[in-house]
């Protein structure tokens, strides 16, 4: 099952996205980071809903705490998490809530995000430390998530326990979420990096 899920996500590997590539290279402006923090934070705020849909109150609470850390990241950049203004980010939030309505699709959608998060967090943290002189509050969210593999492993176990029909739904949701995450970054990239 892991191989099937991961092969779906190869096309939407967020580390290969031009926005994250620019972040790693230190070529993003602070304004681009601000827009990202504000826009993407709206999606981060939906993650507790996903864990709640999976009847995992402990992880849902953990994600609420992580959303607060994201808020500190935004605040340290001089912005705050708001209602998304970019169409692709609004769509990501909409898709998340739609997929978080059923267990199988929640699992697939959450896997798409959680399995990529440790590597993207590690890359973003390295970029922040190497290229930007910013307040320390920009780092904790990414520090916590750069080694956070237990959530994707927990999700994978739950997907493996689904019926064949539900696994098909989880695979479709994984691909849909992967594409939505990619498109949200594209929206931020187009707004902040392309003249």
- pLDDT score at 26: 94
Mean pLDDT of 123-136: 92
What CA–CA distance (Å, rounded) separates 17 from 157? Answer: 28
Average of per-residue pLDDT values in the chain: 95
Domain range for 53: 2-193
Which of 47, 25, 35, 36 has its CA nearest to residue 127? 25
Checking if the pLDDT of 180 tops 70, the result is: yes
What CA–CA distance (Å, rounded) separates 67 from 51? Answer: 13
At 79, is the pLDDT very low, low, confident or very high (cuts 50, 70, 90)? very high
Three-class HEC string of 7-32: HHHHHHCHHHCHHHHHHHHCCCCHHH
For residue 3, the tally of other CB atoms under 10 A from its CB is: 7
Provide φ and ψ at 69, rounded to 5°: -65, -40
The CATH number for 8's domain is 1.20.910.10
- Using one digit for the tens of pLDDT, what is the confidence trace for 32-71? 999 999 999 999 999 999 999 999 999 999 999 999 999 9
Provide φ and ψ at 74, rounded to 5°: -60, -45
Residues in Cβ contact with 155 at an 8 Å cutoff, skipping those fewer than 6 apart? 107, 110, 111, 114, 115
pTM beyond cutoff 0.85: yes
Mean pLDDT of 113-117: 95
Burial of 161 (0-12, 13-18, 19+ CB in 10 A): exposed
- pLDDT score at 195: 66
Domains in the chain, number = 1
């Amino acid at each position: 099952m892991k191989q099937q899920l991961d092969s779906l996500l190869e096309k939407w590997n967020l580390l290969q996205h031009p926005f994250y590539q620019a972040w790693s290279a230190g070529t993003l402006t602070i304004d681009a980071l601000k827009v990202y923090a504000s826009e993407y934070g709206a999606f981060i705020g939906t993650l507790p809903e996903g864990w709640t849909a999976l009847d995992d109150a402990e992880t849902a609470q953990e994600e609420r705490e992580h959303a607060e850390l994201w808020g500190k990241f935004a605040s340290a950049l001089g912005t705050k998490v708001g209602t998304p203004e970019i169409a692709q980010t609004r769509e990501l939030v909409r898709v998340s809530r739609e997929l978080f309505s059923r267990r199988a699709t929640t699992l697939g959608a959450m896997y798409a995000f959680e399995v990529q998060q440790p590597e993207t967090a590690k890359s973003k943290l390295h970029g922040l430390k190497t290229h930007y002189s910013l307040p320390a509050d920009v780092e904790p969210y990414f520090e916590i998530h750069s080694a956070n593999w237990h959530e994707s492993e927990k999700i994978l176990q739950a997907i493996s326990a689904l019926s064949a029909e539900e696994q098909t739904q989880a695979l479709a949701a994984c691909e849909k979420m992967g594409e939505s995450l990619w498109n949200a970054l594209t929206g931020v990239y187009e707004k902040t990096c392309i003249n």
